[in-house]
Structure 1
Amino acid sequence: MRKAFVMQLKKGCEAEYQKRHNEIWPELKALLSESGVFDYTIFLERETGKLFAFQQVKGQAGSQGLGGNPIVQKWWAYMADLMETHPDNSPVSTPLEEVFHMD
């Protein structure tokens, strides 16, 4: 299954956002893999700060259902200064509907 969503990066935080993801915590990476995520890419539109995330997932879960996990909550708190977030530090995220896929 493919999943995609958009998030919003705060202006001027592009380099730090990329740095933190380049140093993703091993425990977070393991948790994502265990939840069925086997391919996860985030793209940045620099002009607007819009982040486009794409995941390939085994099953239905994906990263969007991991919000109750302490590792994810710690990551959200770590990233909250860089992104638009909800009061619980979860990123403001809008799921996207797949309308075309070419094999």
Structure 2
Amino acid sequence: MNRYCFCLQVKPDRLDEYVERHRDVWPDMRAALHEAGWHNYSLFLRDDGLLIGYVEAEDLEAAQKAMAATEVNARWQAEMQQFFAGSDGRPPDESFLLLREIFHLTPPAED
């Protein structure tokens, strides 16, 4: 399983509503993410709106394409787009900046 980290910028005046929307993510959206291969998915939000996402997937591009083919993702992205700065009209799941992993702590080898 590969690890991916990405960032986006939430509009500072929309932070509370963005957080509220993620308190109750639609069950069909959760199911679609799982079925599309998104695992161990987390979002972290800084007070200035910097959003960091972490997800594990065999192939992120394939997982994104699988989500793009779902009706629930189209609805979710349309609703979430209003919260982001600098997306140039693209849905959030197509406009995030993927970060390069430079360190990962692995368990020590057993003797």
Query: What's the TM-score, normalizing by structure 1?
Result: 0.85
Identity score, percent? 28
Deviation, 1:81, is 1.7
2:89 & 2:18 partners in 1: Cα distance? 20
Which amino acid in 2 is paired with 1:31? A
1:61 & 1:6 partners in 2: Cα distance? 15
> Who is 2:100 aligned against?
97
Kindly report which structure 2 residues correspond to 1:22-101, keeping only aligned pairs within 5 A, or say none.
22-47=23-48, 49-57=49-57, 59-61=58-60, 63-65=63-65, 66-84=67-85, 85-88=87-90, 90-91=91-92, 92-101=95-104
SS of equivalent residue, structure 1 residue 4: strand
Runs of 4+ residues deviating >4 angstroms: none
**Higher Cα radius of gyration:** 2
Between the two proteins, the alignment pairs up a number of residues equal to: 100
Aligned residues: CA RMSD = 1.7
User: Unaligned 5+ residue runs, structure 2?
Assistant: 107-111
Higher share of residues assigned helix: 2
SS of equivalent residue, structure 1 residue 3: strand
User: Unaligned 5+ residue runs, structure 1?
Assistant: none
Deviation, 1:14, is 1.2
Could you give the per-residue CA deviations for residues 35-65 of structure 1, whole angstroms, max 9, x where no partner exists?
1222111111213x110000122x2136533
Query: What's the TM-score, normalizing by structure 2?
Result: 0.80
